[in-house]
Structure formats: structure tokens, C-alpha cells
Amino acid sequence: MYEGTLSDWRIAPRTSPIQAIPYELLAEIMFFALAPRTDGQYMSVSVCVNNVLALCQVCAYWRAVAQNTPRLWTLDSFPILITNGGVGRMATKATEMFLQRSAPLPISIEIVPGLRMCRSYDLPAILDTLIRVAHRWKSFTLASDIPESELAALKRIPAGRLDGLDKLELLFRTREMWGGPELDVFSSAPRLRDVTITVWNTSSINLPMPWGQLTQLTLAYDSPQLCLDILGRCPNLVSVRLRTKQWQEEDVILGAETVSLPHLKTLDITIAIWTMGQHLTPFLHRLKLSALTYLCLSIQLASPESADWYISWFAPALIYFLTRAPNLEFLYSNRLDAEDMPDILQHTPCMTRLSFAESPVYDEFFAALRYSATDPAPLVPGLETLELADVGEDWNESSLLEMIRSRWWSDDELLAMPTPPAVARLKHVLWYSGDFPSWTPEFTKTLAAYEVQGLKLTGF
């Protein structure tokens, strides 16, 4: 079998038309054939890895091209999982081979025992191999079930070897699974900007991080107070996602210092509750986010059969919060009383998208959104997208139609207007419901006419 160089192949005789493809072009074709899907379809790691190896078995020319194209060997996360007869196994030698072939490009490390590997006794050799190339780490993911001795091995990473690390994920279900050793090796990573930490069933944990340089942060902690304390140490955050549990009354600090994050644009909070309490209120009272454009507030019920009586009223706190976040463009909230929405929306002059879920709406809700040319200050003048999910059927079709009609006009109608409307034209109205209403023929006919004119309607 031919083992020549790429330059040799440029002048070697070829017996197939595909051999006439220049190696640079063939390398591009190989890359796009193996690159992760961008259409949302899942491609398993093992399929992609085996396809890389399959390219090397077509012929000597293809093997030479593949072996000399480093980015073909960085499409997956390390360690590399090889499948054999449908049974996953960790191949230390395969990981070493992929690391060699991918040099000197940055790589993504993913250590997830039970998912990415089946045998924990592979870990020592794998970690030793990966630590030797720590200078190439671009992202690092470490999940639960890691033995304490193996966690401690990460402390062997020499100082200054994580200069390329920009993303870190540490995922543990309990403090005990954390294993014990304090991992401070990431605190000196100069390019680290994106951090995800999940540690459940613990109220505190000492995990040194370069908090001041982070721009993206995802936290999943039992303690909401710990989440707030960490936010106060991250002045440069742009995006935050919090997953936590309800506040205990004794933990709520009255008159606590405001946490100001002047660069934060995206805030997503999910809080699990099971009793009456403050819930979201302490977050809304303490956070000052002048640049915020995206806000998602979600309350999860610990017991699905529980009644709504214990969901504390947080509309006043949300209104106070919005007075300090004047640039909000998107708002999602569930378990928020629809009767409070008009008062809330008075403080969202820049909003373009409103998503409302899991609380019944009434005719008054649509009436509040209805635009009138005589109204000097219409509600949410920039509204373009309205999303309603599981909001009941305690309203009339005519209320929704009148609201849509007041905020929709065709291009010809717009040109015929003496003055432009004071509100934006709707672009999209979405409806999601487990109990789908029975729309009348007149209602569906009217909506169909709007769709013909260009209004996008989903779920009707």
C-alpha cells in the first residue's frame, strides 16, 4: 500500500476521476461531510469518529489527505468513544491518535463517566494523556461519578497551561459526588469567559474561579443566596442562567446591597418552589440591570398537583425591577397573574416579544393590548411577537381578533394612512395549549386572511 507524501500524490498517476480532485478541495469536502449538523438533527459522537476512520480506509490518497487535515480530528470531544457492535468502550489509544492527528489545533475535553465512557479504570491513563496537552484545551466538561483520586489528578496541571481555555462545565448532582479536592487550577485561566457549574444538595461550595473576567455564567445551586453572592463577584457578565430552589424565609436579607451588572443583557431564572415564600422577589429587588434586553422568569412546582395558593404575588417586585431595566425587549413569565400584565407592561417601552404561560387570560388582557390612534401612550408600542401557552379559554375570540386588528395592517393600508401608527405591526402570534380550543369557522377564516397578508400565526 502506498505510503508517500501529499506532494508525491500530486504527480502520481490516477485511475479514478475522484483522484483528480486537488487534496485541498478533497480536504474541504471531507470536513463538510463530517461537520456537526446545523439543522438541529443529532449526530452521535461515535458515528462521526468512525466516519473519520473510514475515510482513512478508502485508499492511500484519502488516508494521506485525512491524516494531514488536523481539523478533521477535532470534530468531537475528547476522550474519543469508539463503538464496536453497538457497545461503547473507551479507547485510550484512539484518544491518543486523535490528539496527535489534531495537533496543534484547540480541542474540547468531555469527561462524562457512564455516558462517554463505560469503565472508570480507563480514567487514570486518559487524564494523564489529556493533561499533557492542557495547553490545547479550548473547553473542558467534567461530570459526576468521578472518583476523588481522579479529580485530584487535575491539580497536576502546571500553572500557565490553560491559557487557551475559554469554556468550562462542572456538573455534579451532590457535594459528595464532587469528590472533595478543591479545584483551583481554573482560577488562573486568562481567557476563561463561559462557566457552567451544577452542584445540587449543598448550600455552599468553595470553587475558585476568575469571576471578574466571566461574561457567561450558568449556575445550578440549591442556595439562591449563593447564586446572588456569586453574581456580585462577576461585574462583566453579559448572560446569566440560574437554576435554584426557593428562598427560606430566614435566609432573605432585608435591605441587602444591590447587585449592579451594567453589561448584562440576558437573564434566565428558574426557581423550584413547594411552599409560600419570597420565591423570585429577592432577585428582583436586588438586581439592577440597566442593559438587560432578555428576561425569562420561570417557577417550577415541586408537586404538580399543588394548588396556586402558595405562589407568592411578585408583580410589584417585577415592576420595581423593570424600572431599573428600561431596555427590555423580551419577557417570559409563567405563574404571573394576567390581571397584573397591563401594569407591568407600562414599564417595558422597548419590548418587542412577550411570552406568557400557565395563567388564565381574560378579555381584559387583550383589551389592554388593543391599540387606538387616540391613545397618546399605547402599551408596548414595539410589540411584534405575542406567545401564549396554556392560558385557558376564559376569553372571547372577538377580543383576540380586535387586538390583532388594531395592530395589523397591510402594506397598502399603511401607505394610505395620513400618519404612521404609533405602534409596530405584529409579525407573529403563537398559541400553545394542552386543551386546544374549538375555534369557530369565522375566527379561522379571519385569521387565514391575515396570514395571506403576511401575519405569521402558529397553533391556531
| The last residue of a domain, from among 76, 99, 129 | 76
The pLDDT score that the predictor gives to residue 196 is 96
Who wins on pLDDT, 22 or 10? 22
CB 404, CB 362: distance < 8 Å: no
Does the pLDDT of residue 235 top 50, yes or no? yes
Asked if residue 433 is part of any domain, the answer here is no
Asked if residue 458 is part of any domain, the answer here is no
Convert the pLDDT of each residue in 343-376 to its tens digit.
Answer: 999 999 999 999 989 888 999 999 999 999 888 8
For residues 42 and 113, membership in a common domain is answered with: no
| The last residue of a domain, from among 192, 214, 236 | 214
pLDDT, mean of residues 326-339: 91
Convert the pLDDT of each residue in 32-58 to its tens digit.
Answer: 877 765 554 444 555 567 778 888 878
Does the pLDDT of residue 11 top 80, yes or no? no
Does the pLDDT of residue 114 top 80, yes or no? no
**Cα 460 → chain centroid:** 28
For residues 13 and 27, membership in a common domain is answered with: yes
CA-CA-CA-CA torsion for 74, 80, 86, 87, nearest 10 degrees? -170
For residues 56 and 82, membership in a common domain is answered with: no
CB 457, CB 450: distance < 8 Å: yes
Per DSSP, the three-state class of 205 is: coil
CB 330, CB 355: distance < 8 Å: yes
For residues 43 and 93, membership in a common domain is answered with: no
Asked if residue 432 is part of any domain, the answer here is no
pLDDT band at 5 (very low <50, low <70, confident <90, very high): low
Mean confidence (pLDDT) of the chain: 83
| The last residue of a domain, from among 76, 104, 119 | 76
Q: What percent of the chain has pLDDT over 90?
A: 42
Who wins on pLDDT, 76 or 325? 325
Who wins on pLDDT, 291 or 174? 291
Who wins on pLDDT, 424 or 89? 424
Asked if residue 65 is part of any domain, the answer here is yes
For residues 25 and 114, membership in a common domain is answered with: no
Does the pLDDT of residue 382 top 90, yes or no? yes
For residues 95 and 68, membership in a common domain is answered with: no
Measured CA to CA in angstroms, residue 301 lies from 307, 335, 393 at distances of 9, 10, 22
The pLDDT score that the predictor gives to residue 202 is 65
Does the pLDDT of residue 9 top 50, yes or no? no
The pLDDT score that the predictor gives to residue 312 is 67
Q: Number of folded domains in the chain? A: 2
317-322 long-range contacts, CB within 8 A, separation 24+: 317/280, 317/281, 317/284, 317/285, 318/280, 318/284, 318/344, 319/343, 319/344, 319/347, 320/284, 320/285, 321/284, 321/285, 321/287, 322/347, 322/348
Does the pLDDT of residue 303 top 70, yes or no? no
- Please report the beta strands in 72-193, taking only residues with DSSP state E, as ranges in sequence order: 81-84, 87-90, 107-111, 137-142, 167-172
For residues 51 and 152, membership in a common domain is answered with: no
**Cα 351 → chain centroid:** 21
For residues 63 and 177, membership in a common domain is answered with: no
Does the pLDDT of residue 424 top 90, yes or no? yes
Domain extent at residue 133: 77-214
For residues 151 and 38, membership in a common domain is answered with: no
Asked if residue 434 is part of any domain, the answer here is no
Does the pLDDT of residue 149 top 80, yes or no? no
Asked if residue 185 is part of any domain, the answer here is yes
Asked if residue 101 is part of any domain, the answer here is yes
**d(Cα 280, Cα 240) in Å, to the nearest integer?**
15
Q: Look up residue 154 and give its amino acid.
A: L
Asked if residue 207 is part of any domain, the answer here is yes
For residues 15 and 81, membership in a common domain is answered with: no
Does the pLDDT of residue 428 top 90, yes or no? yes
For residues 55 and 93, membership in a common domain is answered with: no
Q: What is the DSSP letter of 442?
A: H
**d(Cα 90, Cα 75) in Å, to the nearest integer?**
17
The pLDDT score that the predictor gives to residue 355 is 96
pLDDT band at 119 (very low <50, low <70, confident <90, very high): low
The pLDDT score that the predictor gives to residue 61 is 84
Q: What is the DSSP string of 15-84?
A: SSGGGGS-HHHHHHHHHHHHSPPSSS----HHHHHHHHHHHTTT-HHHHHHHHT-GGGGSSSPBSPEEEE
pLDDT band at 2 (very low <50, low <70, confident <90, very high): very low
The pLDDT score that the predictor gives to residue 223 is 87
The pTM assigned to this predicted structure is 0.85
For residues 27 and 144, membership in a common domain is answered with: no
